[in-house]
A and B are shown apart, each in its own frame.
Chain A
Amino acid sequence: GDSVTQMEGPVTLSEEAFLTINCTYTATGYPSLFWYVQYPGEGLQLLLKATKADDKGSNKGFEATYRKETTSFHLEKGSVQVSDSAVYFCALRGTSYDKVIFGPGTSLSVIP
């Protein structure tokens, strides 16, 4: 069945460092891809999305490009801040159903 794989955490970075969180997926057809963020004690927030191949989603300095040839949707940010400390989930929604399938999450800690 469809699935999402993310790089294992926790990831610890210094403020202003470059961030990459790898995400790959397995799905039939052309799924929509998402990154969600969960801050401590809060629910999930949609960070960005891409609905077709080569689309680039972006928000709050974060970017991810839908790469169908490598079935990847890696999350990047050029300069992280302490406030970016959270758990990041890569997710997909298939073309034949509406439920969202999540990866296991990657915990990010940014230290001053």
Chain B
Amino acid sequence: DAGVTQSPTHLIKTRGQQVTLRCSPKSGHDTVSWYQQALGQGPQFIFQYYEEEERQRGNFPDRFSGHQFPNYSSELNVNALLLGDSALYLCASSRGAGQGEYFGPGTRLTVT
């Protein structure tokens, strides 16, 4: 049983560009959350998707947007990249509301 998978593993972008990160949840999971983890810090909640809709959102600007597909996979889009967006982006999935989350290995984004 595959766990949470994310792609790509690493990504280098230039300031001002746009990026799309992808996540496939653990089998049987229907809820996907995205987190940003800056170097040396704990993960910060970006948003959560359930039934293809954004259910909760953290304190991130509108440059961060997402989508969930009918097969529960999800994308995170970041527009107008800033140097400060450089971080490890983690996807987590769970089954229904209020359940424990399983994390993927993350996508390391570097903005130059």
Q: Which A residues are within 8 Å of any B CB, using their own CB?
A: 4, 34, 36, 42-46, 49, 89, 91, 93, 97-105
Chain A residues with CB under 8 Å of B4's CB are: 43
Tell me, in angstroms, the Cα distance from A43 to B4 when the chains sit together: 10
Q: Is the CB of B105 within 8 A of A34?
A: no
User: Which secondary structure dominates where chain A touches chain B?
Assistant: strand
Q: Which of B33, B101, B106 has the most CB of A within 10 A?
A: B101
Chain B residues with CB under 8 Å of A97's CB are: 56
Q: Is the CB of B100 within 8 A of A98?
A: no
Q: Is the CB of B105 within 8 A of A104?
A: no
Tell me, in angstroms, the Cα distance from A104 to B105 when the chains sit together: 18
Tell me, in angstroms, the Cα distance from A44 to B42 when the chains sit together: 10
B8 on interface, CB distance cutoff 8 Å? no
Q: Is the CB of A98 within 8 A of B56?
A: yes
B81 on interface, CB distance cutoff 8 Å? no
